[in-house]
Amino acid sequence: MDLWPTLASMAGLKPPPHGEWKDNNGKPIYFDGYDNSTYITGNSKESARMSWVYIDAVSFLSVRYGEWKFLFTAKDTWLGPELHLGIPAIYNLKQDPGEHYDMTFNGAAHLPPVC
């Protein structure tokens, strides 16, 4: 998560250096994450983070890189069954933020459920 470096920057604090601090056993401490304060405040149009890995418990679901999302395991609900896709579904999140059109199959539409 990018909370620590983002909030530290917004509070005027400098995050600790990577690996230079040591724990009680002498092992290096790493504070991971990107400072997204300029994105949150509207001073940047893009997030500092270019990639994200989606994991649910022990299941690998998808990878996001830039505006693209590659879905390897589909779930219709949080606790619902998993469908492992042989070929990943590919979505362009700028063009299709709701993930309705799978680019792998020439933009085939996934119709929303009828309520």
CATH topology for the 51-109 domain? Arylsulfatase, C-terminal domain (3.30.1120)
What residue ranges do the domains of the chain occupy?
1-48, 51-109
pLDDT-derived band at 38 (thresholds 50, 70, 90) equals very high
Q: What is the sign, positive or negative, of the torsion defined by CA atoms of 104, 92, 59, 52?
A: positive
Q: Evaluate if residue 64 carries a pLDDT over 60.
A: yes
State the chain's mean pLDDT as an integer. 84
CB atoms within 10 A of CB 19: 11
The DSSP 8-state label assigned to residue 31 in this structure reads -
Coil vs helix vs strand at 77: coil
